[in-house]
Chains A and B, each alone.
Chain A
Amino acid sequence: MNYAMALDYQSCINCKACEVACKEENGVQLGADKQRIWVGMVEGSNEGKPFVNLYPSQCNHCIDAPCVSVCPTNASHYIAGGIIKVNADQCILCKGCMEACPYDARFIDDTKVAVDKCTFCEHQIAETGTTACQATCPTKVRTFGDLDDPNSDLVKLLEKRRFFFQKEEIGTLPKLFYLVPEDEAYAKQSIGPNTKIHTWDEIKPLYERAAKRRSQEWK
Chain B
Amino acid sequence: MEIGLSRRRFLKGSVALSVFGGVTLTGPEVLALGKTVNADKPASYSVPTLCEMCVNKCALIADVQDGIVKKLNPNPLFPKSKNMLCARGVAGIHALYDPDRLKTPLIRVGERGDGKYIKATWEEAFEYIKTKMVKILDEEKDNRSCIGYCAGEGMAEHTFKSFMADKFGSANFLNHASLCLQTATAGYALTLGAYGQADLENAKYVIMAGANRAEAIVTPDTMDIFKRTRGRGTKLVTVDPRYTNTAMHADLHVPIKPGTDLSFVLALTYVVISEALYNKVYVKNNFNDFDKYQQHILDNEYTPEWAENITGVSADTIRTIARDFMAAAPQAVYYQGRRSTWAKNDFQLRRAMALFTALGGGVDVKGGIVFGDKLPLENHDINTPLYFNAESRIEGDAAAIVGASGSWVAWRNMVESGETPYPIRGMFVYKQNPMLSIPDTSRTRKMFEKMDLVVVIDTMPSDTALLADVILPECSYLEREDPVRSFPGIEPAIGLRQKVIEPMYDSKPVMDIMRGLSKKLSKPLWEVTKKHDEDVQDELEGEDELAYYKENGFDLTEPYLHSQEELNKHAFVGKHGEAAWKTLRKTGVYYPDMDTSFKKINNNDYQYYPQHKKVYSVLPIEDKTDINILANDFYKSCDPCENPADIAPLKRTFKTPSKKIECYLGNMARKGVDPMPTWKQDEHVDVPAGKFKFITGRHAQQTQNATQNNVMLLELMRENFAWINDAQAKTLGIAHGDTIEISSRVGSVQIKAYPTPKIVPDTIFYVHGFGAKSDGQTFAHRNGASDNEIIEGNIEPVYGASIMHETLVTVKKV
Mark A19-39 against chain B: 1 for CB-CB distance below 8 A, else 0. Answer: 111011100001110000000
Q: How far is the CB of B711 from chain A (nearest CB, A)?
A: 6
Query: Known contacts A16-B701, A20-B87, A138-B222: does B227 contact A11 (CB below 8 Å)?
Result: yes
A31 and B757 within 8 A (CB) = no
- Within 8 Å CB of A137, what residues of B? 84
In angstroms, Cα B227 to Cα A187, docked, is: 15
Q: Whole-angstrom distance from the CB of B500 to the nearest CB of chain A?
A: 15
Cβ proximity bits A115-158 to B, threshold 8 Å, 1 near / 0 not: 00000000000000110101111111001100000000100000
Most buried by A among B217, B223, B248, B701: B248
Instruction: Say yes or no: B248 contacts A51, CB within 8 Å.
Output: yes
CB distance from B66 to the nearest CB of A (A): 15
| Interface membership of A185, Cβ < 8 A | yes
Asked if residues A16 and B700 are in contact (CB atoms below 8 Å), the reply is: yes
Question: In the complex, what distance in Å separates the CA atom of A21 from the CA atom of B217?
Answer: 17
Give 15 pairs: A residue, B residue, CB < 8 Å, sorted on A. Answer: A13-B245, A24-B72, A24-B712, A25-B71, A50-B243, A54-B248, A135-B73, A136-B86, A138-B226, A139-B227, A140-B227, A153-B603, A181-B230, A182-B230, A184-B231
Number of A-B contacts (CB under 8 A): 122
Q: Is the interface of B mostly helix, strand, loop or mixed?
A: loop
Task: Tell yes or no: A103 within 8 A of B by CB.
Answer: no
Closest-by-CB residue of A relative to B700 is A15
8 additional A-B residue pairs with CB within 8 Å, beyond A16-B701, A186-B231: A13-B222, A13-B700, A17-B90, A20-B716, A24-B93, A136-B84, A183-B230, A183-B231
Q: Roughly how many angstroms separate A10 CA and B227 CA in the complex, as a whole number?
A: 8
Q: Which A residues between 55 and 80 are near B, CB-CB below 8 angstroms?
A: none
Given contacts A45-B757, A134-B603, A182-B231, contact A14 B700 (CB under 8 A): yes
Residue of A nearest to B715 (CB): A32
Does B604 interact with chain A (Cβ within 8 Å)?
yes
Distance (Å) between the CB of B683 and the closest chain A CB?
A: 31
Chain A residues within 8 Å of B230, by CB: 10, 181-183, 185-186
Report A-chain residues with C-beta under 8 Å of the C-beta of B351: none
A7–B712 alpha-carbon span in the complex (Å) = 24
A24, B58: Cα distance in complex, Å: 18
Q: Are A16 and B716 in contact (CB under 8 A)?
A: yes
Q: Is the CB of B87 within 8 A of A19?
A: yes
B residues in contact with A183, CB < 8 Å: 230-232
A10 to B232, CA, bound (A): 10
B246 surroundings in chain A (CB, below 8 A): 13
CB contact list, B653-679 vs A, under 8 A: none
CB distance from B348 to the nearest CB of A (A): 30
Pick the residue among A30, A52, A134, A135 that contacts B711 (CB under 8 A): A30
Bound CA–CA A140/B224 (angstroms): 11
Taking the closest CB of chain B, its distance from the CB of A133, in whole angstroms, is 10
Q: How far is the CA of A25 from the CA of B718 in the complex (A)?
A: 22
Most B CB contacts (10 A, CB to CB) among A31, A129, A138 go to A138
Known: A139-B227, A183-B230. A13 touches B90 (CB 8 A): no
Q: Is A160 an interface residue (CB 8 A)?
A: no
Check A143–B604 contact: CB distance below 8 A.
Answer: yes
List of A residues within 8 angstroms of B711 by Cβ: 30
Q: Tell whether B74 is near chain A: CB-to-CB under 8 Å.
A: yes
Docked complex Cα distance between A172 and B41 (Å): 49
Determine whether the beta carbon of A32 is less than 8 Å from that of B718: yes
Q: Residue of B at shortest CB range from A54? A: B248
**Inside 8 A of A143's CB, which chain B residues have their CB?**
602-604
Take A11-B227, A153-B603, A181-B231 as given contacts and tell me if A136 and B85 are in contact as well, using a CB distance cutoff of 8 Å. Answer: yes
The answer, yes or no, to whether A219 is at the interface (CB within 8 Å) is no
- Whether A136 and B214, one on each chain, are in contact in the complex, defined by CB atoms closer than 8 angstroms, is no
Question: In whole angstroms, what is the CA distance A157 to B230 when docked?
Answer: 19
- Residues of A contacting B445 in the complex (Cβ-Cβ under 8 angstroms): none
Chain A residues with Cβ below 8 Å from B605 are 140
In the complex, per-residue mask of B700-741: 1 if CB is within 8 Å of any chain A CB, else 0: 110000000001110110100000000000000000000000
Q: Is B758 an interface residue (CB 8 A)?
A: yes
From 208 to 232 in chain B, residues with beta carbon under 8 angstroms from any chain A beta carbon are 214-215, 217, 222-223, 226-227, 229-232
Q: Counting CB contacts under 8 A, is A209 at the interface?
A: no
Residues of A within 8 A of B227 (CB): 11, 139-140
Known: A143-B604, A181-B230. A136 touches B73 (CB 8 A): yes
